[in-house]
Amino acid sequence: MNEIYVTGHRNPDTDSIVAAMSYAALKNALGEKEYVAVHLGTISDETNRMLKHFGFKPPRFIQNVRTQVRDLDFDRPPCLDASVTMDRAWQLMRSQKISAIPVTNEDGTLYGMLSAGDIATFSLNTIANPVVEEVPMFNLLSVIEGRVVGEGGDLVDSLSGSVSIALPQSCENLLFDSSDSIVLCGSQPDMIRRALDMQVSCLILCQTDVDPEWVKDAGKTCIISTPFDASRVHRLIYQAIPISRPCATGDLICFHLDDYIDDVREVVLKSRYRCYPVLDEEEKVVGTLSRYHLLRPRRKQVVLVDHNELAQTVPGIEQAEILAIVDHHRLADIQTRQPINVRNEPVGSTNTIITSMYQEHGVMPSPHMAGLMAAAILSDTVMFKSPTCTKRDIAMAERLARIAHVSLEELGRELFASGAVDSKSAEDLLRSDFKEFHIAEQNLGVGQVTCIDSEHLMQRKEDLLKAMEEMQKSHEYDMVILMLTDVLQEGTQLLFIGSDDAIRNAFAVEPKDNTVFLPGVMSRKKQVIPMLTTLWG
């Protein structure tokens, strides 16, 4: 419940995934709250190769950060087994000051819900109809603190019948239905003798000594002795009923830990109940939820890395609490409810910033983590050839490489190996590193594939343009761009669906067949988006 999610953008590249992992590792090393690296979209082949190379498992996948039932401070009252007595349930409600309690089966799954109203209704009904049915002997003896006298009661597992206190005027009525009568007697030898002669099913002796002759003449009558007076026993005997009988079991409304609060609120507003059981993934009861729990829900806490744009962040962010942002992109449209720590620096990789944070706090990353962070810097700076690359990126990558005992050159060759690209569909290539941008009134999507042989990929131009056209229609983009960035050529084959004039005016080139080669263009954020922003801004 106290986890803090660290997440990159929706279509994560290597820098985004590793930034979440390295930031979480730093915070946990400093002994702060439990930070957990998570990811949103599909992890690319490049990133998976690096994770496997350095012995890491992918971060946890999440779909959104909408508030769920598990985020609420719902009540966690004790759950009672269906066989527990009403007396025990009522005492528990009074001591804990609760108005309802879950009733469970032996395996912890939900049987029903017992409310104070259920107990009150059952108790009032016994006034008009003073009859008990199948009361377990164990329950009765527990409630009235009684003991069985003689051998007649040892063979009885449960009691049923009308309940009456033996008064002179009531004894005549006992003649009509003696076999199903439960008679309560005080120090009244004549009454006790008469009840035994009538062979009532059960005789409860209240605050009186037991005469051996009564036990001898009991026959089939079950005799129970109790230290309570007859009036109290008469009230308590109904409280020996198992709570499985008065509790509500039909048409129950319950919620699960993963249910979203928006959905829960709609159900609660349409129902009349004050309390709802909460179940876990195994359908076991873990608590109860009331209306007031929905008033001030505890929001999920999130740290954003490698982005600060609403269109790129995790769905449901408006319901979450953003604690910090670590990024190297332009400032965009993320809004927060309160001041937060923001670290935004003009470097080529988010991991360069996080490496500086390790250094500032005097924490050295493990060799495996250092190697992974070095790979992330190489990826985002395209082996230091991107115009976004700075001297700090190079210095930090070299330092991390020394800690990890790896060669940056060899790591770069493995990073941009092109073998896995051929097995991908055109749509997968387009989505592998895809970001949305909103510039003025223009909505566009820009994908980027970094490789060492763009000419090979250009052989699939028609398939790529078709996939881009389908994405434009399905998402209603004004323009879709795919950058095939070639590390060796130090340039980008730019494919686009949209206005030729926009590409012509933004980059001062003449496009042909939805394609143009841009020498020296390696960076989406520094060489493509700014040019389009200038055009439309």
Residue 169 lies in a domain: no
76-89 pLDDT, tens digit per residue, is 999 999 989 988 99
H-run or E-run covering 132: strand 131-136
Residue 149 lies in a domain: no
* 471: CB partners within 8 A, 6+ apart: 427, 430, 445, 477, 480
What is the C-alpha to C-alpha distance for residues 436 and 480, in angstroms, rounded to an integer? Answer: 9
Do residues 470 and 523 share a domain?
Answer: yes
Instruction: Flag residues of the chain having pLDDT under 70.
Output: 1, 151-155, 167-179, 417-422, 537
**CATH code of 48's domain:** 3.90.1640.10
> Which of the listed residues 383, 415, 447 is the one where a domain comes to its end?
415
Sheet holding 131-136, edge to edge: 131-136, 158-165, 181-185, 202-206, 222-226, 147-149
Do residues 407 and 320 share a domain?
Answer: yes
Confidence at residue 174, expressed as pLDDT on a 0 to 100 scale: 46
What is the C-alpha to C-alpha distance for residues 436 and 311, in angstroms, rounded to an integer? Answer: 6
Residue 410 lies in a domain: yes
Do residues 368 and 452 share a domain?
Answer: no
Task: For the full predicted model, state whether its pTM sits above 0.85.
Answer: no
Question: How many domains are contained in the chain?
Answer: 2
Do residues 499 and 475 share a domain?
Answer: yes
Confidence at residue 420, expressed as pLDDT on a 0 to 100 scale: 56
What is the C-alpha to C-alpha distance for residues 298 and 69, in angstroms, rounded to an integer? Answer: 10
What is the C-alpha to C-alpha distance for residues 164 and 96, in angstroms, rounded to an integer? Answer: 33
Do residues 325 and 396 share a domain?
Answer: yes
Confidence at residue 298, expressed as pLDDT on a 0 to 100 scale: 87
Q: CA 281, 285, 286, 288: dihedral to nearest 10 degrees?
A: 120
Confidence at residue 175, expressed as pLDDT on a 0 to 100 scale: 43
What is the C-alpha to C-alpha distance for residues 208 and 185, in angstroms, rounded to an integer? Answer: 9
Residue 18 lies in a domain: yes
Do residues 354 and 446 share a domain?
Answer: no
**Burial tier of 163 (Cβ tally within 10 Å: 0-12, 13-18, 19+):** buried
229-263 pLDDT, tens digit per residue, is 988 998 889 888 999 989 999 889 999 999 999 99
Strands (E), 169-300: 181-185, 202-206, 222-226, 255-256, 275-279, 285-290
* Residue 466 domain boundaries: 426-536
Confidence at residue 418, expressed as pLDDT on a 0 to 100 scale: 58
Q: What is the 3-state secondary structure (H, E, C) of 409-445?
A: HHHHHHHCCCCCCCCCCHHHHHHCCEEEEEECCEEEE
Residue 453 lies in a domain: yes
Do residues 441 and 335 share a domain?
Answer: no
Do residues 435 and 407 share a domain?
Answer: no
Confidence at residue 27, expressed as pLDDT on a 0 to 100 scale: 96
Do residues 387 and 477 share a domain?
Answer: no
**CATH code of 482's domain:** 3.10.310.20
Do residues 442 and 407 share a domain?
Answer: no
Confidence at residue 421, expressed as pLDDT on a 0 to 100 scale: 67
Do residues 373 and 448 share a domain?
Answer: no
What is the C-alpha to C-alpha distance for residues 42 and 441, in angstroms, rounded to an integer? Answer: 29
Confidence at residue 274, expressed as pLDDT on a 0 to 100 scale: 83
Do residues 432 and 403 share a domain?
Answer: no
What Cα–Cα distance (Å) separates residue 351 from each residue in 1, 17, 258, 393, 454?
28, 10, 33, 9, 27
Confidence at residue 154, expressed as pLDDT on a 0 to 100 scale: 61
Amino acid of residue 342: V
Residue 530 lies in a domain: yes
One DSSP character per residue, 234-266 reads HHHGGGGSBTTTTSB-SS---EETT-BHHHHHH
Secondary structure class of 164 (helix, strand, coil) = strand
> Which of the listed residues 415, 447, 466 is the one where a domain comes to its end?
415
